[in-house]
Amino acid sequence: MSENKEITILKSGGEEWGSGSAQYIDFIITEDCNLRCKYCYICHKQTGHTMPLETAKKFIDYLFSGAVTQMPAVVVSFIGGEPFIETDLMDQIMDYFKMKSYISGSDWCWNYRISVTTNGVNYSSTTVQKFIKKNADKISVSITIDGTKEKHDLQRVFPNGSGSYDIIEKSIPLYISQFPATTKVTFAHDDLPLLKESIIHLWKMGINDVNANVVYEDAWEVGDDIIFENQLKSLADYIIENQMYENNFVSLFDPLIGRPFDEERLRRTVCGAGVMLALGPNGKVYPCLRYKDYSINSDKAEVAIGSVDEGIDFNKVLRFRVSNCQIQCDEECLNCDVAIGCSFCQGQSYDAADTPTNFQRSKYICKMHKARVRASRYYYNRLLNEKHTKVEGMRLTPKRMYFPLADDFVSYCEMENPNTAIWEEMGPDVVEKGLEYCYENFYYPVFVHSFNNPDLSIGDKYTDHRITHIVSARHYSETKKLNDIILVFDKDTIDIPVAYQSYVILNVNWEDVSNLYAYTAKLFKITGRINLNLYGLHTESQLEVYEQELRKITDFLIESWNKNIMYEFSKITDVYFSKKQDSCNIGEKSLTIMPNGDFAICPLDYLYNSKPIGNIYNKSVLVPNQKLYSLDKAPLCVSCPATHCNRCAIRNNIDTGEVNVPSFSKCMPSMIEYKISKDFQNHFGKALGINLRTLTEYEFENPYEAFLEATDNRFGYTIV
């Protein structure tokens, strides 16, 4: 396997100052601006609406009166309109804030930052430079420059309609000499075709760290997502061809986006509205400036949470504190395969919602987000495959598409492939169409190679895709050029020397189960994790031997875990990491494409049932009775504590006639494994400081007994 170098996704500025420990306080010191940017969300700018110094002082007095608890640090932001048209006011407010915080004995007197986001028009003026110099160690400034002159002047114009690029460009060298060079770029319908050249232009100006986003508003037209995706892919090509990927960043490419929601993300919302405080010129306090009337486009009322005269009414803050994605998203978003990174502005969502609620997220960027996810994957896949550069934080999602490349594909799960010879291989046309389908529908492709005669040069051909290759260890020497491989070992390949693998599969026949520990001990010399598959039918005596072998493996694990080497053996350690039963997601998230182009639930299902669920040529997929594949519809599995069991719908179907009902022969080894895992747990306690699931005593022989107890169903015969 090729050596991957890790590059960090941290941008040049590193972690945001005070991240997680700072209170954000915004002073909207003016509602006026010297520009009239076409995409600006402050849709009701007003001349003359400037914050009186006394209003700011009252608010500062309130903050230090003891009425509001304080975070350890504070970020005081000045926004507008354009804050640098009121620089003297900003300076007076800060002087008062600093003195007041000192007198109050607050840590905010030293643990603070000033943040200013400006259009840059006045940046080089004596007044602004004096303010920056005075606060040199405590201030961060972000100038908005949108890219090329054409792109910038398309949106960022003076009230007379003329572009502002020329005047702002002159200040950029001074800005770069004073601050880490960064900017925030916004793209809308009109300027999408200028995206690539704009980002490159900013990099060439010396702004290496570009934050960019698309507008959240209802401003997109049919086909914009395609333009966006093509621009991003073209930018990716440019970065890679010009070796610019280690020193230039644009936030549109992000390795962390494009996964389904997890529980932790559902519990949070997208921004700090209601945690931060924004003071308006009129003395009202807002959860964020986007809830102030000057930013509301609909006929809804602005949302204030208090005022400098009456303080903050926490009842009005509550709606923001309890907001989270679980409540704010609809079913489509909650079930989206690529939900992470699809951001929204809570204030804009309130503005666009059907009723005046904070609990209905805006979805106008849905297609644009999906285009961004596809382009991001394209970029990082090319980096990995062509530059052998693996980006920190990138994770594969559970949505996989399996490509059994030949009839004799290597067995990789608990169902053994009965085919030992090749009659049919997958042709390039099906492979390409399948990969295209994966790209469009956010599947990760998994190539399951021929056991006997794999074509491993296939990895060179599709560098736009992140492909996992499952290969028999007997072909290890041919896998050097592949980035993601999973080697499959069996008794005949157990001694093949291979380089360290993070994860391997071990296939063992029940007849050979007495050698399980010996095989495992050998493999742990070259890997940190073994996924075990047992094939053939077991007898009662084989189960006894299996338990003995697992106990030997447990002794090995106890020794290693006590040395802080956390080897994982699927049948013993997986149960600590899952509260609900795992599965390979077939029928739900995973899909298979057969060599003839048919879609199948899984390769084994197709072999046993010969029933396709669609075809790549018409791109249709329909899983009949799909609900039966979900854990909720598996009556014996849903409450089973042996969550590592990897319930196999195909095997269930063969054994019991239903995909969601396991046989006793499936459950019995799982019960033994659970018992062993529970015993193992007593030996390591809270190993390595990781929060592992605590296993409890299972009082039943098998899940059917538990089911009878739970349903109070004692009728009917049993077999003795």
Partner 1 sequence: MNIDKVQITNEEIKQFEAIDEKRNALRNLIFICENNELLRNEDLYSKFLTDISKTENERTQLWNDIMDKYNIHDDEHHELELDFQSGIITCVPKS
Q: Tell me which residues touch partner 1 (CB under 8 A).
A: 14, 95-96, 98-99, 102-103, 109-112, 134-135, 137-138
Positions of E strands within 240-347: 249-250, 277-279, 284-286, 306-307, 311-312
Dihedral Cα 412, 417, 419, 421, nearest 10 deg = 10
Beta bridge partners, 444, equal 400
Positions of E strands within 280-388: 284-286, 306-307, 311-312
Smallest distance, Å, CB 86 to partner 1?
Answer: 17
Smallest distance, Å, CB 137 to partner 1?
Answer: 4
Q: How far apart are CA 653 and CA 107, in angstroms?
A: 65
Smallest distance, Å, CB 139 to partner 1?
Answer: 10
Residue 396 DSSP code: -
Instruction: Using the minimum distance from each CB to partner 1, give the nearer residue, 113 or 259.
Output: 113
Residue 140 contacts residue 179 (beta carbons within 8 Å):
yes
Instruction: Using the minimum distance from each CB to partner 1, give the nearer residue, 109 or 496.
Output: 109
**Would residue 619 be called left, alpha or beta, if left means φ above 0 and alpha means ψ between -120 and 50 degrees?**
left
Smallest distance, Å, CB 673 to partner 1?
Answer: 40
3-state secondary structure of 411: coil
Instruction: Using the minimum distance from each CB to partner 1, give the nearer residue, 53 or 708.
Output: 53
Smallest distance, Å, CB 64 to partner 1?
Answer: 15
Instruction: Using the minimum distance from each CB to partner 1, give the nearer residue, 14 or 536.
Output: 14
Instruction: Using the minimum distance from each CB to partner 1, give the nearer residue, 135 or 323.
Output: 135
**Residue 20 tokens, joined:** 């997680």
Smallest distance, Å, CB 115 to partner 1?
Answer: 16
Instruction: Using the minimum distance from each CB to partner 1, give the nearer residue, 111 or 389.
Output: 111
Instruction: Using the minimum distance from each CB to partner 1, give the nearer residue, 102 or 664.
Output: 102
Q: What are phi and psi of 378, to 5 degrees?
A: -55, -45
Instruction: Using the minimum distance from each CB to partner 1, give the nearer residue, 70 or 111.
Output: 111
Residue 500 contacts residue 524 (beta carbons within 8 Å):
no
Q: How far apart are CA 462 and CA 131, in angstroms?
A: 54
Residue 379: its H or E element: helix 366-387
**Residue 571 tokens, joined:** 């049948």
Smallest distance, Å, CB 28 to partner 1?
Answer: 23
Instruction: Using the minimum distance from each CB to partner 1, give the nearer residue, 100 or 678.
Output: 100
What angle separates helix 540-562 from helix 664-684, to the nearest 10 degrees? Answer: 30
Instruction: Using the minimum distance from each CB to partner 1, give the nearer residue, 113 or 400.
Output: 113
Residue 77: its H or E element: strand 73-79
204: Cβ–Cβ under 8 A, 6 or more apart, which residues? none
Instruction: Using the minimum distance from each CB to partner 1, give the nearer residue, 103 or 518.
Output: 103
Smallest distance, Å, CB 72 to partner 1?
Answer: 10
- How many CA atoms are closer than 13 Å to the CA of 120, on its beta-carbon side? 26
Position of tokens 């592949």? 482
Residue 40 contacts residue 286 (beta carbons within 8 Å):
no
**Residue 469 tokens, joined:** 């290759």
Smallest distance, Å, CB 53 to partner 1?
Answer: 10
3-state secondary structure of 560: helix
3-state secondary structure of 653: helix
Instruction: Using the minimum distance from each CB to partner 1, give the nearer residue, 44 or 133.
Output: 133
Q: How far apart are CA 533 and CA 414, in angstroms?
A: 5
**Residue 324 tokens, joined:** 């989270």
Q: How far apart are CA 565 and CA 358, in angstroms?
A: 47
Smallest distance, Å, CB 699 to partner 1?
Answer: 47
From 525, 456, 518, select the one nearest 484 (Cα to Cα). 456
Instruction: Using the minimum distance from each CB to partner 1, give the nearer residue, 73 or 426.
Output: 73
The angle subtended at Cα 259 by Cα 17 and Cα 504, nearest 5°, is 105
3-state helix vs strand vs coil in the chain, percent to 5: 40, 15, 45
Smallest distance, Å, CB 14 to partner 1?
Answer: 6
Smallest distance, Å, CB 110 to partner 1?
Answer: 4
Position of tokens 């004073």? 178
3-state per-residue secondary structure call for 226-239: HHHHHHHHHHHHHH
Smallest distance, Å, CB 517 to partner 1?
Answer: 42
Instruction: Using the minimum distance from each CB to partner 1, give the nearer residue, 67 or 103.
Output: 103
Instruction: Using the minimum distance from each CB to partner 1, give the nearer residue, 11 or 387.
Output: 11
Provide the CA 126 distance to its chain's centre, in angstroms.
Answer: 44
**Residue 436 tokens, joined:** 């295209």
Smallest distance, Å, CB 94 to partner 1?
Answer: 9
Smallest distance, Å, CB 124 to partner 1?
Answer: 22
Q: In what order do the strands lie in the sheet with 484-489?
A: 568-569, 529-535, 504-509, 484-489, 468-472, 444-448, 400-404, 591-593, 598-600, 614-615, 620-621
